[in-house]
Amino acid sequence: MRYHNITKDDMLNGDGLRVVLWVAGCSHGCPGCHNPVTWDINGGVLFDEEAKKELTDQLEKEYISGITYSGGDPLHLANRAEITALAKELRERFPQKSQWLYTGYCWEEIQGEEILSYVDVVVDGRFEETLKDTQLHWKGSSNQKVIDVKRSLEACKIVLHDS
């Protein structure tokens, strides 16, 4: 897996103060995307042990609420295995920290993915420029959903995250 950036003390990509991992690779190509530089699966730099240490150092800080995976698309087929392994490792090491995942895939398309066992919130769906709304909380267009993963899996239907 490759990544472009690790943002520290982020307040825009999930609840509370977060660390954000911006992965490389996205095949959706949404017109108006705010981060097209991350589309190339070969872009950025290799996610290595040093990058993982940078993430864990941030997550050890008491005031950090959790981690957000964004990009690109963390669920790009080339990223799924490694991002799932990372989410699992961080869930085990930091069970009290929340994990958010942004993906262009719809909830229905990612059912059965192992990563859902480790993340708390999924923001799903492609960015739709015609539905862009800067007043929306944690999403860019009104078609996207901010999903409470655990409650949705238990209910067998989408339950939105309380904002």
Residue spans per domain, the chain: 2-155
| Mean pLDDT computed over every residue of the chain | 96
Predicted model pTM: 0.96
Distance (Å, whole) CA 96 – CA 40: 33
pLDDT of residue 124: 98
Split at pLDDT 50, 70, 90, the class of 162 is: confident
Residue among 35, 28, 41 nearest 13 (CA): 35
Cβ(88)–Cβ(101) under 8 Å? no
